[in-house]
């Protein structure tokens, strides 16, 4: 299997002439079995638009990492979940699967599936339209539904995108030429319910995606966004950078290890009660992660044994916003949404 951070090694030998060759589907490498590594770090400066730019992202510190392999929906047994997809991305050795449809016209996202979480787009989210060239633009509307361990919601939104830059991308592992930058403005509404209570949230963001020949996804995506939940007086910044990097894969097994997980109250502003049933003898670890995948509170480790368990913890020191409450042990991981109010 080849790893896509090697795909463009030869590109640096072609010189620095800024000939603006549009990127088409033929320039995107979707070879089945190809692997790449994704990391998430804090928000970076996206740099300037225009022709002849050099964007440098060589010194980022990862907060979360994933291994991705390109497959078919049939290979991952998700063809019924994503019936219109022609590619699937296996996340961390098939712990999760994403569905995509790619042809000579566009690159569309159909959602993600893993035990305990299902995000399905009835109207897909268009990432890019081909060809990718300076000043190319499009407007896309999308709609999806999700279920995160019983927390259900729906999302609708609009993306307004324009290709606003062309130049060189400098990463820690190499320099890429012939890179296009696409600016996307996102305006999204979300409706969800927790413990029978309905809430409305909005998400607005500007992201910058850097597309290089030979890669199946943008090499870097810089996002600066804001989530607001008016009924809960929540306003949460979403500033992060997702990028391709090297790292050693540590897989997570996909097993049933926790059951009857409940957190209450949710939303909460201080003390949270957690109850669950441990299905193995393994020591359980509880922690809270932000939306960039960074651990913001380590609740502790519990040598609990098999059976019902309860604990509580204080989140009053966390900023208001969305979080992921995660239970994990040597056998697997369980996650559910937690909302912190002011």
Residue that finishes a domain, picked among 244, 273, 294: 244
Q: Which residues of the chain have pLDDT under 50?
A: 1-18, 247-255
- For residue 42, the cross-strand partners are 240
Domain shared by 168 and 309, yes or no: no
Domain shared by 144 and 28, yes or no: yes
By three-state DSSP, how is residue 9 classified?
Answer: helix
**Long-range residue pairs from 112-116, CB within 8 A, at least 24 positions apart, any chain:** 113/78, 113/81, 113/82, 114/254, 115/254, 115/256, 116/148, 116/149, 116/334, 116/335, 116/336
In a domain, 253, yes or no: no
Closest CA to 85 of 69, 102, 104: 102
In a domain, 216, yes or no: yes
In a domain, 225, yes or no: yes
Domain shared by 135 and 278, yes or no: no
Domain shared by 207 and 157, yes or no: yes
Domain tally, the chain: 2
Q: How much is the pLDDT for 182?
A: 98
In a domain, 249, yes or no: no
For the segment 123-171, what is each residue's pLDDT rounded down to a tens digit? 999 999 999 999 999 999 999 999 998 889 999 999 999 999 999 999 8
Domain shared by 240 and 270, yes or no: no
Domain shared by 133 and 194, yes or no: yes
Residue that finishes a domain, picked among 244, 271, 299: 244
Angstrom distance (rounded) from CA 235 to CA 165 = 31
Q: How much is the pLDDT for 251?
A: 33
In degrees to the nearest 10, what's the CA dihedral of 9, 10, 13, 14?
Answer: -130
Domain shared by 94 and 39, yes or no: yes
**Whole-structure pTM value:** 0.75
Domain shared by 238 and 299, yes or no: no
Q: How much is the pLDDT for 302?
A: 67
Is the Cβ–Cβ distance between 257 and 279 less than 8 Å?
Answer: yes
Residue that finishes a domain, picked among 180, 215, 244: 244
Q: How much is the pLDDT for 291?
A: 63
Q: Which two tokens stand for residue 207?
A: 């992201």
In a domain, 251, yes or no: no
By three-state DSSP, how is residue 231 classified?
Answer: helix
CATH number at residue 271: 2.60.40.3080
Q: How much is the pLDDT for 14?
A: 36
Q: How much is the pLDDT for 4?
A: 38
In a domain, 141, yes or no: yes
Q: How much is the pLDDT for 303?
A: 63
Sort strands 35-42 and 234-244 into parallel, antiparallel or unpaired: antiparallel
Beta-strand ranges (E) seen in the chain are 35-42, 50-57, 64-71, 87-91, 96-102, 106-114, 117-129, 137-148, 151-171, 174-194, 197-211, 220-229, 234-244, 258-264, 271-278, 284-289, 295-302, 307-314, 321-329, 332-340
Domain shared by 123 and 172, yes or no: yes
In a domain, 151, yes or no: yes
Q: Domain of 304?
A: 258-340
Domain shared by 24 and 150, yes or no: yes
- For residue 327, the cross-strand partners are 286, 334
Is the Cβ–Cβ distance between 334 and 257 less than 8 Å?
Answer: yes
Is the Cβ–Cβ distance between 329 and 283 less than 8 Å?
Answer: yes
In a domain, 228, yes or no: yes
Domain shared by 227 and 334, yes or no: no
Q: How much is the pLDDT for 10?
A: 31
Domain shared by 38 and 96, yes or no: yes
Closest CA to 128 of 109, 143, 112: 109
């Amino acid at each position: 299997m080849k790893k896509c951070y090697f795909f463009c090694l030869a590109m640096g030998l072609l010189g620095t002439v800024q000939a603006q060759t549009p990127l088409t589907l033929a320039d995107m490498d979707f070879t089945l079995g190809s692997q790449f590594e994704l990391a998430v770090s804090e928000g970076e400066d996206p740099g300037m638009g225009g022709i002849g730019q050099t964007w440098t992202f060589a010194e980022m510190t990862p907060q979360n990492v994933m291994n991705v392999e390109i497959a078919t929906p049939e290979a991952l047994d998700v063809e019924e979940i994503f019936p219109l997809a022609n590619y699937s991305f296996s996340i961390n050795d098939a712990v999760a699967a994403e569905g995509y449809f790619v042809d000579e016209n566009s690159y569309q996202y159909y959602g993600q599936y893993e035990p305990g979480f299902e995000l399905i787009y009835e109207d897909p989210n268009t990432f890019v339209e081909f060809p990718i060239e300076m000043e190319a633009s499009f407007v896309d509307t999308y709609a999806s539904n999700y279920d995160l361990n019983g927390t259900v919601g729906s999302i609708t939104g609009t993306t307004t995108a324009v290709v606003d830059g062309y130049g060189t991308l400098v990463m820690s592992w190499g320099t890429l030429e012939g890179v296009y930058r696409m600016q996307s403005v996102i305006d999204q509404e979300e409706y969800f319910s927790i413990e029978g209570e309905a809430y409305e949230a909005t998400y607005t963001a500007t992201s910058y995606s850097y597309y290089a020949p030979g890669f199946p996804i943008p090499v870097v995506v810089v996002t600066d966004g804001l989530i607001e939940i008016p009924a809960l007086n929540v306003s949460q910044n979403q500033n992060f950078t997702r990028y391709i990097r090297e790292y050693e894969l540590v897989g997570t097994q996909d097993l049933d290890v926790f059951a009857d997980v409940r957190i209450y109250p949710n939303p909460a502003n201080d003390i949270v009660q957690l109850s669950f049933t441990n299905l193995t003898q393994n020591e359980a670890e509880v922690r809270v992660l932000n939306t960039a995948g960074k651990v913001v509170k380590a609740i502790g480790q519990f040598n609990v044994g098999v059976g019902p368990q309860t604990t509580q913890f204080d989140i009053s020191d966390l900023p208001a916003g969305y979080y992921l409450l995660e239970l994990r042990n040597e056998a697997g991981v369980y996650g559910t949404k937690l909302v912190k109010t002011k």
